[in-house]
Structure 1
């Protein structure tokens, strides 16, 4: 299972076996059951999670009780509450498991120690964080400027594997549309 993380890191930086062993010494592993929370709003969220196996979602529940899905994370993806993680605050977001899940996780303190000791990892995390910010910007602009059909087509193109693993109700929530609207779009 470590090879999944190594493969992801080595898409950006190369590591010797000793360096990778050092990197792994900063991570821990955890298994979660379907429907189990990884992070709950209001609690501390000290870890960033790399998904080895499974599927998670991060979401926010507004004052009216409506759920807003910000992100899904499947194998080879990262997930956290960035504000809580980087600023050592209590979480605003919830993260739960949509399938049985295994993650490697790293605390912000271990990440900082790792980055100081191994500059390659500083570069790796900076590139991953930048890519995440860019993806979030594109998602926000899509929600602000595209109609439901365009957002659905974009979702299909970007995440074909998620389309097969998620119920339509969660896809609709992610796209900011009703389940009925999504059903109409899938018939086009």
Structure 2
């Protein structure tokens, strides 16, 4: 499936566009390819775009003063990612985004997205829906981090992404869960 078809199918789950509207919308996106390890956003960057994942896997992460990495999100096919605080507030990025696996993304600038939202009501509805869904997911994850033990958080992650532990190094999954790699290995080995 080509990038255009993947985006069309993604949008079609929420909104209905004519072929002309979708073609016009798609013309505002730019297809980009990245290799594993390449960076899309580095902390401190000026962020102008957000990314829709066509294939592969990205991670958004924060590194604190002690050089400890905290993964905020794994973005796989049909997910969106960026440093949204930097994008919307026009401030330097506080998080970074890079490729965990080779990836293709569709990039759209904040300016182009806002233009589309003003011109096509259905697109505005889609982005509002997506933002709301993202907020709910973030709230759910934060509550899980505050209330659940590591095993419960790990089980939630594997339920949401059954193949994740086969695709990604344990160190990244551990950073997402906020635990050491050794703790994750114990959980993983207890499952077998």
Q: TM-score, normalized by length of structure 1?
A: 0.97
TM-score normalised by length of structure 2: 0.95
Distance 1:18 1:29 in 2: 19
Match of 2:98 in 1: 96
Matched, 1:60 2:62: yes
State the partner residue of 2:79: 77
Q: Which runs of 4+ in 1 moved over 4 A?
A: none
**What residue in structure 2 maps to residue 14 of structure 1?**
16
Instruction: Tell me how far apart the structure 1 counterparts of residues 28 and 189 of structure 2 sit (CA, whole Å).
Output: 48
Taking the aligned partners of 1:136 and 1:161, their CA distance within structure 2 comes to 21
SS in 2 for 1:73: strand
Of 118, 137, 140 in structure 2, the residue corresponding to residue 138 of structure 1 is 140
3-state DSSP of counterpart to 2:14:
coil
- Determine if the alignment matches structure 1 residue 36 to structure 2 residue 71: no
Q: Distance in 2 between matches of 1:20 and 1:163?
A: 36
Query: Which runs of 5 or more residues in structure 1 are unaligned?
Result: none
Match of 2:180 among 178, 181, 185: 178
Give the 5 Å matches for 1:141-152: 141-152=143-154
Aligned length, in residue pairs? 188
Shift of 1:178: 1.0
Unmatched tracts of structure 2, length 5 or more? none
Comparing 64-73 and 154-163, the one that deviates more: 154-163
How many Å apart are 1:163 and its aligned residue? 2.6
SS in 2 for 1:54: strand
Q: How far did 1:176 drift? A: 0.6
The alignment's C-alpha RMSD in Å is: 0.9
Match for residue 168 of structure 2? 166
How far the C-alpha of 1:32 sits from its partner, in A, is 1.1
